[in-house]
Amino acid sequence: MGCTTLLVGKKASYDGSTMIARTDDGFFDVKKTVVINPEDQKKIYKSVIGHLEIELPDNPMRYTCSPSVNPVHGIWAAGGINEANVGMSATETITTNPLVLGADPYVRYQKKEGRKPGKAGGLGEEDFVVVVLPYIRSAREGVIRLGSLLEQYGTYESNGIAFNDENEIWWLETIGGHHWIAKKVKDEEYVIIPNRQGIDSFDLNDALKEQKEHMCSSDLKEFIEKNHLDLNQDGTCNPRLIFGSHSDADHIYNNPRAWYIGRYFNPTGIKWEGENADYTPESDNIPWSFVPERKITAEDIKHILSSYYQGTPYNPYLKTESPKRGIYRPIGISRTGVTHICQIRSDVPDEIKGIQWITYGCNAFNAAVSLYTNVTKMPKYVSDVKSDVSTGNFYWASRMIEALADAHYGPCIQHVERYQSAVSAGCHRIMNEYDRKMKETGDYSLCDEANKKICEMLKKETDAALKRILQTASEHMKSGYSRADN
């Protein structure tokens, strides 16, 4: 599953919060956003893809998530924030090379055939949030719990997983079937992961001893040496060279997204275009992390995760013919189910630190809504979603807007931009109001009231945008005709 992940350290963000964000780019998956209360968390977890059963710990915490509406392929919870104000995003599909997979194969489900017994598969994107997020009280604890589960049960795919609390962000990458590495994001940096092995520097000594900024499987050093995996020439440890892919597909599907995001947040200090460019859209060595030239907001994250190479010859919506138009995979791709920004703030009371920003559908044409996570349920506008199409919920209304606006991009994009700005401003206005009320009164049950008001504003703006875009699209239908046309 192709996704794009962006991580923002607390000194790189506008308000001192940590933010982890990801586009969940399935195949037009119908999604909802809900709260899972402790009494709803099952003691025995059964996976659909891996056919694996796991006994879960007692005393789970409440958490938010964005599962698939149709559970035929599993829960696919995507990401969320728990009541301890720990966020998790799972997962970014990454790449692993054949040397690694030959040494530590994926753990895949094997169906029983005749006298040959069946075998359960490992854990995967379907499962990670449900079996980890309710049981961790820090980002570091998230790495430790998930790492132990990977070593015990294995995985059937390559994934990257992000965790954040108010102080730290950790990024974990799976290595083959049972191995893993994790690295702490520096406070002053942001990190880009576009569907490939991301970490490009690693301190094995720290990971195997003090674990200040790195963690890994306990036998990783021996695993690398025994299987001759280290392709580095200079004595450094670059996991991207050791574990990652080195394919032509990276050059058109993955690397261009890293190039465009870096170009956006660091436009002047690095040469991104022309002769002697430091990095091009197809460069394999674009760094995992950068220090941005200015502070990053949630709106910046939403904007860049909506991008399709505006301002470059690669924009698929260019009016002029260009051999480069649409040659690279957009960031704001059509098939996105849900995007989340898990924001953990540090300048407010614990009860209101967690904010989850949610979008549904293609980010190029949708809006992001902010929701307090210290609640026992989400408003129906984002949670009561069915497989049947309806303008009564945010998911399907967003999908309708995207399909109409994409087909009539030129005349509709101004409506989309005004809609996105209006929703963002409305979210901040209501959050500012309720942050103040709750700090003054100490009544944090007002989170429910705030979310209700935010969703009322969101529905009003979404309905108005859909009406405008529908009218504009209707006016530009090919069957339009008047006698004055003759």
Which CATH number goes with the domain that contains 325?
3.60.60.10
Q: Is the pLDDT of residue 231 over 80?
A: yes
> What's the pLDDT score for residue 114?
84
CB 377 within 8 A of CB 35: yes
CA distances from 16 to 167, 296, 353 (A): 9, 10, 11
Please state, rounded to an integer, the average pLDDT across all residues of the chain.
96
- Copy the structure tokens of residue 260: 């465009």
Q: Is residue 124 one of the residues assigned to a domain?
A: yes
**How much is the pLDDT for 255?**
96
What is the rounded CA–CA span in Å between residue 461 and residue 466?
9
Q: Which domain holds residue 50?
A: 4-364
Token look-up 């502070």 returns: 295
Q: What is the DSSP letter of 351?
A: G
Tokens 């904010």 belong to residue:
355
**Is residue 78's pLDDT more than 60?**
yes
- What residue type is 309 in one-letter code? Y
In a domain, 227, yes or no: yes
What value does the mean pLDDT take over residues 109-114? 90
Sheet (strand 190-193) strand order: 289-290, 190-193, 4-8, 18-24, 338-344, 354-360, 369-372
Tens digit of pLDDT for each residue in 402-451? 999 999 999 999 999 999 999 999 999 999 999 999 999 999 999 999 99
How many Å apart are CA 439 and CA 352, to the nearest integer?
Answer: 9
Q: Which helix (H) or strand (E) holds 438?
A: helix 409-441
Question: One of 3, 65, 216, 412 is an active-site residue; which one?
Answer: 3
Check: CB of residue 176 under 8 Å from CB of residue 96.
yes
Quick one: pLDDT band at residue 117, thresholds 50, 70, 90? Answer: confident
> 67 near 36, Cβ under 8 Å?
no
Model pLDDT for residues 450-462, shown as the tens digit of each residue: 999 999 999 999 9
Number of domains the chain contains? 1
Nearest to 172 by CA among 150, 194, 190: 150
Residue 254 lies in a domain: yes
| 3-state helix, strand and coil shares in percent for the chain, rounded to the nearest 5 | 35, 20, 50
Determine, yes or no, domain membership for 344.
yes
Could you tell me if 342 and 19 are in contact, meaning their C-beta atoms sit under 8 angstroms apart? yes
> Taking the complete model, does pTM exceed 0.85, yes or no?
yes
122-136 burial code (b ≥16 CB/10 A, e <16):
bbbbbbbbbbbbbbb
Closest CA to 149 of 137, 161, 165, 138: 161
Distance separating alpha carbons of residues 82 and 132, to the nearest angstrom: 10
Q: Convert 84-110 into a string of H (helix), E (strand) and C (coil).
A: CCCEEEEEEECCCCHHHHHHCCCCCCE
Name the pairing type of β-strands 190-193 and 4-8. Answer: antiparallel
The Cα–Cα gap between 239 and 241 comes to 5
Question: How many of the other CB atoms lie within 10 Å of CB of 351?
Answer: 18
Within-domain flag for 392: no
Q: How confident is the model at residue 293 (pLDDT cuts 50, 70, 90)?
A: very high
By the 8 A CB rule, do 128 and 199 touch? no
Residue 383 domain-assigned (yes or no): no
Write phi, then psi, for 113 (nearest 5 degrees): -135, 110
* Tokens describing residue 54: 């796991």
As a whole number, mean pLDDT of residues 155-180 equals: 98
Taking the C-alpha atoms of residue 363 and residue 383, their distance in angstroms, rounded to an integer, is 19
Tell me what the mean pLDDT of segment 66-81 comes to: 97
Confidence (pLDDT) at 248: 87
pLDDT at residue 485, rounded to an integer:
58
Note whether 343 and 356 are within 8 A (CB).
yes
CA dist 97 and 211 (Å) reads 26
> Contact 64/129 with Cβ under 8 angstroms?
no
pLDDT for res 1: 59
Whether the pLDDT of residue 283 is over 80: the answer is yes
The CA distances from residue 281 to 93, 191, 200, 325, in Å, are: 20, 17, 18, 13
User: Is 65 part of the annotated catalytic residue set?
Assistant: no
Q: 369 lies in a domain?
A: no
pLDDT of residue 247: 86
| Rounded average pLDDT over 125-134 | 98
Closest Cα to residue 369, out of 340, 335, 348?
A: 340
34: pLDDT confidence band, cut at 50, 70 and 90?
A: very high
Contact 194, 254 (CB under 8 A): yes
Contact 229, 301 (CB under 8 A): no
Residue 486 has pLDDT above 90, yes or no: no
Judge whether 424 lies within some domain: no
